[in-house]
Structure formats: C-alpha cells, structure tokens
Amino acid sequence: MDSVLSPDRFVAPTVTETAKIVIAGAFGAGKTTFVGSVSEVPPVHMEEAITRASAMVDDLARTPNKATTTVGVDFGRIHLGDALVLYLFGTPGQVRFRFLWEELITGALGALVLVDPRDLDSCHEILGLLEENGVPYTVVINQFDGAPHHPLEEIHEALALEGHTPLTVCDARERASCMRALIQLTEYLARLEP
C-alpha cells in the first residue's frame, strides 16, 4: 500500500489545465466501476448499503450482485498527458437524486454517459438533462459480458444522437478502454472550444 503522502497523489507541476468531467449513466451502468478503473487517487465513493426499501425501488434484476448503491458521488482524478488533469464526478443514477445531479453538472466541461447495451432506453432522461443544461457529452456503451453487441450506427440512431456526438464501447473494469473513452471525450470537447 502506498502512502497517502506518496508523490503520485499530487497534481504534477507541469499541469496547466484542469477540467471537471461528469461520469453519468443509469443505475448499474458501471459509473463507480469506471471511476475506480481510471482514478490515480483512491476513488471516493459515497455508498450506502441498499436497504430493503430501496431494493424494492431500484431495478436490481440485471445486477443481482450489486450490494451497494451510490447515493452521492464517486470522485476520482486522472492526469491526461503532462498539462491536463481531469476531475471525475460520477453521478447518482437514480432520478430521486436529481437535486444532486444538477449540482454536480454545474461547471462541468463535459460528460461521459455510460450505457448498458441491455437497456439503451435508460439513458434518455440523462441525455435530456445534459442537453437542457448545455453540457456536451459523449456516449460510451459499457459492454457487459453476454450483453448484445449492437452495431454502433444502430445505437447512434436508437439514441437519436446528434451526428457529431461520439459513441464508443468500453469495459468499465479495464483501465485502458476507459482511458480511450476519456481521451475521446476530451478530444471532442477540445474541438467544441471556440
């Protein structure tokens, strides 16, 4: 275990830009896993054991092993190159935490929306929220084991994404694939900058 004071916990002196990035997605889409895979600091999870009450409300059918649910945010940090640091904020998936959601997207440069390919429709509300608030986003299919492989063009159409909105696939458990998705998002955001 490295110490909390080890140098890699600090932002490099070469960093000139920081950006707040939101990791969004429905309940169980893989947000907590994604932030845990890429963060270079131990990710902060605000989780609470799922109570009987919330287990009746949340859809646990597809993730029966999921014993906790994020009620607050997941927080992580990642250097991209020498000059840029991303601060990652994973949003709560459930609509009943919408007040937290709106707080979280304030000041965000952009959002990465994780989508479970077994439930494409679950992200519509989130895409709508981001659009209402003018937060640019990319969409990333979290390819769960055994989930259907839809062609990306079909998903792009099914989600009614704008032509320029990037869409890609990741495995939220694999750092390299999550990094590729984050790089795609930052490149997209850089192209949008005036």
Give the residues lining the site for ligand GDP (CB under 6 A).
25, 27-33, 63, 65-66, 70, 93, 142, 144-145, 171-173
Residues forming a β-bridge with 84: 17, 80
Nearest distance, CB of residue 62 and ligand GDP, angstroms: 8
Q: Which does 20 bind (CB under 5 to 8 A by kind): Mg ion, ligand GDP, none?
A: none
Q: Which does 94 bind (CB under 5 to 8 A by kind): ligand GDP, Mg ion, none?
A: none
Q: How far apart are CA 68 and CA 51, in angstroms?
A: 9
Q: Which does 145 bind (CB under 5 to 8 A by kind): ligand GDP, Mg ion, none?
A: ligand GDP
Using rule CB under 5 A, residue 142 touches Mg ion: no
Nearer to ligand GDP, 101 or 144 (CB): 144
Structural tokens at position 133: 């608030």
Q: Which does 186 bind (CB under 5 to 8 A by kind): Mg ion, ligand GDP, none?
A: none
Nearest distance, CB of residue 24 and ligand GDP, angstroms: 9
Nearest distance, CB of residue 158 and ligand GDP, angstroms: 20
Using rule CB under 5 A, residue 32 touches Mg ion: yes
Q: How far apart are CA 190 and CA 194, in angstroms?
A: 9
54-73 binders of Mg ion (CB under 5 A): 70
Binding site for Mg ion (CB under 5 A): 31-32, 70
